[in-house]
Amino acid sequence: MPITKSAKKALRQSLRRRVRNLKIKTNIKNLLKEVRNLVSQKKVEEAKKLLPQVYKALDKSAKSGVIKLRTVARKKSRIAKLINRSQ
């Protein structure tokens, strides 16, 4: 456990950030899963309507540093490719 005052504060901050980051990551995972399910059910139009939400969540996570920029680019590319292939 932290002893110094600054270490205690750093622990509090990291716990808050961890919770925030986990919420963002689970939101992204759920959106991607939903898009994949829609594509597998041949509901491509609904998946296309969900795509801007996915892009927005991914871009925001990259901007805040939750996920690296190139990881976001890869996820966006693969989900767009999946939708385009299923048409």
Angle in degrees, CA 29, 86, 28, rounded to 5:
10
Number of folded domains in the chain?
Answer: 1
Tens digit of each residue's pLDDT (9 = 90 or more) over 10-62: 999 999 999 999 999 999 999 999 999 999 999 999 999 999 999 999 999 99
Do residues 38 and 44 touch, judged by C-beta distance below 8 A? yes
pTM listed for this prediction? 0.89
Residue 71 pLDDT > 90, yes or no?
Answer: yes
| Non-local CB neighbours of 82 within 8 Å, separated by 6+ positions | 35, 36, 39
Domain that holds residue 38: 5-85
Do residues 57 and 28 touch, judged by C-beta distance below 8 A? yes
pLDDT on residue 87:
81
CATH number at residue 42: 1.20.58.110
